[in-house]
Amino acid sequence: MLVIGNWKMHGDRQRLAEVVAIDRHVRRGCSARVALCVPATLIAAARGSVEAVVIGAQDCHQAVGGAFTGRLSASMLADAGAQMVVVGHSECRAAGDDDAAVGAKVTAAIGAGLEPVLCVGETSAERDEGLTAAVVVAQARAALPGRVVEGLALAYEPVWAIGSGRLPQEGDIAAVIAALRRCLVDLYGVEGSDVPILYGGSVSAANAAALLGIDGIGGLLVGSASLSADSFVPILAAAG
């Protein structure tokens, strides 16, 4: 299992104590691979304070460099200590990233040696129209790389489930995972069966064990519950 915490725009240097505490738990024995995608300002310090937790970034620019004030390239994030990057998060899609940009970011991440975690997810309107599988598969097809790279992962995050406390039925998550798996195998052949497919959206200690029991699930992408060891460690414990 792969369990990733996405800190979003939360966390100052004081919160590095949580990174250290989460790392301590993972070092003591955790069967899951654990990553924390912290704000870019904390990547270097977080990387310097962990032994077992993978440190990642939350987004990257698609260009290698240039006149993009305030933006960060994948190689800058790698240089700061990131090993992974989330791309296509619905909050970035809402801020303007279309499928082409997300695909270019995946390519940029791979070029910089970062493990890309590609997020897909439907809005509540799309869900109501019965378009969930079609939407997420289209997003995946549009942005997945031409070949399987080390660390490539997909994260299914329904937009309406993020931060809302509302989750899809377990059977609905399993159906989306199955559709994404078919897409991966179609694109990559047998190699596509090994790409982890995570679930994200209102994951908590209360629902982690049930989510991790869903057929075909490869792990979890956790937002607010990853901000402290107190709330994240029980989720990791559910992973074994």
Active site amino acids: 89, 157
How many other CB atoms are there within 10 angstroms of residue 148's CB atom? 17
For ligand 13P, the closer of residues 188 and 232 by Cβ is 232
Q: Per DSSP, what are the bridge partners of residue 154?
A: 118, 197
Distance CA 6, CA 86 (A): 8
Residue closer to ligand 13P, measured from CB, 22 or 75: 22
Give strand pairing partners of 198: 155, 219
Give the nearest distance from C-beta 69 to ligand 13P in angstroms. 26
Of residues 23, 33, 10, 16, the one with CA closest to residue 233: 23
| Collapsed DSSP state (helix, strand, coil) of residue 66 | coil
Can you tell me the distance from the alpha carbon of 151 to that of 153, in angstroms, rounded to the nearest whole number? Answer: 6
Smallest gap from residue 188 Cβ to ligand 13P (A): 24
The nearest distance, CB 4 to ligand 13P, in angstroms, is 8
Which residues contact ligand 13P by CB under 6 A? 6, 89, 157, 162-163, 200-203, 221-225
- Quick one: how far is CA 154 from the chain centroid? 7
221's enclosing H/E stretch is strand 219-222
State in angstroms the smallest separation of the CB of 158 from ligand 13P: 10
Which is closer to ligand 13P, CB of 103 or CB of 201? 201
Report the residue number, 75 or 88, with the smaller CB distance to ligand 13P: 88
In the complex with ligand 13P, the residue whose CB is nearer, 43 or 225, is 225
Nearest approach, Cβ of 124 to ligand 13P (angstroms)?
14
> How far apart (Å, rounded) are the C-alpha atoms in residues 41 and 97?
22
Which residue number has the CB closest to ligand 13P?
A: 223
- CA end-to-end span of the chain, whole Å? 9
